[in-house]
Amino acid sequence: MIANVDKVIEWLEINETPFFTVQTREGENNKIFETREDESFEDAKARLRRVMEFSTGNRFIIRAKKEAKATRGSFTEEFRNLPENTIPPGNNQNNIISGMPGVGFVSIGELEKKVKDTEERILERVKYQRIEDENKELKEELRSRNDTLDRVVKKLEPHVGLILSNVVSKIIPHPGATAQVGVAGIESEPEDINEFNPLDEERLEAALQRFSSAEPDFIRIIEKLAEMAEKQDAMYLMAKSQLFK
């Protein structure tokens, strides 16, 4: 099969066949070109080029002869007339699907666009899958941290009351505790410390709840304050005087 119209004209020149017809398929009624007896070979070739500008396809049949009225000794060949930058089917392009009905080829530009679109779709899928995997990892990590926190809370929960009781006892003496003052070897009578009334207990509980909500390290701070109060630390006394001005 001849590749294109230029090669067809070379084929006609080599065979010295100035009279020829072009058909789309076998049959008398399928001609798209036929030379005239009164035109020169050059005019016939030029007219063939113009006609084939309007007729593109993957298969044409050309029949050529040396004499206009010859009935025998004709030359027959098939040829293609495809636009530039196209890939005809059968040239190791079995997977190419026709881009034009009835023609059987796609242009290189159209093929490149299809490849690019396919690549973009694949990249989008990969990107989406990567995000899904990252979200899954983050969810697993968050679930693991929550489980760890739950285990810590469950372990501390039975001891919360004891921890608060010890902290409060350092700041406020237990009801009924006594203080003794030695004067010249004589023990003074113990002074009773008033027990908390229900209102004071409510105030203390509310204050501890507010403090723990505002200060994550409130237990250590209370312990430090208790220690400073026991020692009557100067900084503690000064801070206390400023608080109650």
What is the residue range of 60's domain? Answer: 5-81
Q: Is the pLDDT confidence value at 48 over 90?
A: yes
Average pLDDT over residues 20-43: 88
Average pLDDT, the chain: 77
Question: For residue 126, is it within any domain?
Answer: no
Question: For residue 104, is it within any domain?
Answer: no
Average pLDDT over residues 139-143: 84
Q: Is the pLDDT confidence value at 114 over 80?
A: yes
Range of lowest pLDDT (58-67, 118-127, 157-166): 157-166
pLDDT digits (tens, 9 = 90+) for 166-214: 656 655 555 544 444 444 444 444 444 445 577 777 888 888 888 888 8
Q: Is 142 exposed, middle or buried (CB count within 10 Å of its CB: 0-12, 13-18, 19+)?
A: exposed
Q: Which two tokens stand for residue 59?
A: 């298969």
How many domains does the chain contain in total?
1
Q: Would you give the DSSP letter of residue 163?
A: H
- Dist CA 71 CA 87 (whole Å): 37
Count of CB atoms situated within 10 Å of the CB of 228: 16
Question: For residue 28, is it within any domain?
Answer: yes
pLDDT digits (tens, 9 = 90+) for 213-240: 888 888 888 888 889 889 988 888 888 8
Question: For residue 39, is it within any domain?
Answer: yes
Question: For residue 239, is it within any domain?
Answer: no
CA angle 6, 8, 9 (to 5 degrees): 65
Alpha carbon separation from 60 to 45, 100, 204, 217 (Å, rounded): 16, 17, 104, 92
DSSP H or E stretch at residue 111: helix 108-156
Tell me which residue has tokens 């007729």: 55
